[in-house]
Amino acid sequence: MTTDQTIYQLDEYYQINIQHLRWSFTSSLSALISGLIALLTGTALIILGDSGLTGQLVIIGGLLTQFIGAGFFVLYSRNLVQLNIFYDKLIKHKDTLYAISLARELSEPSKSSAMMAVVGNLLARGEPPIPAEVLTSFNNRLKDSET
């Protein structure tokens, strides 16, 4: 039951983050396009001889919008990196819960060795850092179970 809920939460988290990334990308793109249109419009006004304050302000507005769009893209790329990091951690968590639930389903002779394999795999990941005494205790228990 916990595994099903975790999978549902993973899917929901992923969908929310994808929606945010799409919004961020669309905002970035629209800001860059509107900035480019403003720049081209201001340039056209100046070339056509309408070099008054309006043309200059339109160009300044276009440049500012371009910088805002570029900032949006920087935030978009950082969000994408963070999404991948967090999603990878959630996938590892889901895999761990799934492995534990599968090990619990086994019959008793192989159940303890399967649980030890799961624990060994988790300790081998090194996430989060494992204190040395935990590793020593695990190794001693593993040696005891082999004999």
66 contacts 35 by C-beta, under 8 angstroms: yes
Residue 68 and residue 14 share a domain: yes
End-of-domain residue from the set 42, 59, 90:
90
Residue 101, domain member (yes or no): no
Q: How many CB atoms lie within 10 A of CB 58?
A: 20
> 75-123, pLDDT tens digit by residue?
888 888 888 887 777 777 777 777 777 777 777 777 777 777 777 777 6
Residue 68 and residue 11 share a domain: yes
Residue 85 and residue 38 share a domain: yes
Residue 78 and residue 15 share a domain: yes
Residue 27 and residue 65 share a domain: yes
Residue 99, domain member (yes or no): no
C-alpha–C-alpha distance, residues 2 and 58, integer Å: 57
User: Which of 86, 117, 125, 77 is closest to 99 using CA atoms?
Assistant: 117
Residue 113 and residue 84 share a domain: no
Check residue 49 and give left, alpha or beta (phi > 0: left; psi -120 to 50: alpha). left
Residue 83 and residue 12 share a domain: yes
> 31-78, pLDDT tens digit by residue?
889 989 988 888 888 888 766 788 888 888 889 998 988 888 888 888
Higher pLDDT, 34 or 126: 34
Kindly report the backbone phi and psi dihedral angles of residue 142, in degrees, each rounded to the nearest multiple of 5, phi listed first: -65, -45
The boundaries of the domain holding residue 120 are 106-147
Residue 51 and residue 9 share a domain: yes
Residue 100, domain member (yes or no): no
Q: How many distinct structural domains can be found in the chain?
A: 2
Residue 76 and residue 8 share a domain: yes
Average pLDDT across the chain, whole number = 78
Residue 110 and residue 86 share a domain: no
C-alpha–C-alpha distance, residues 34 and 39, integer Å: 9
Residue 97, domain member (yes or no): no
Residue 69 and residue 114 share a domain: no
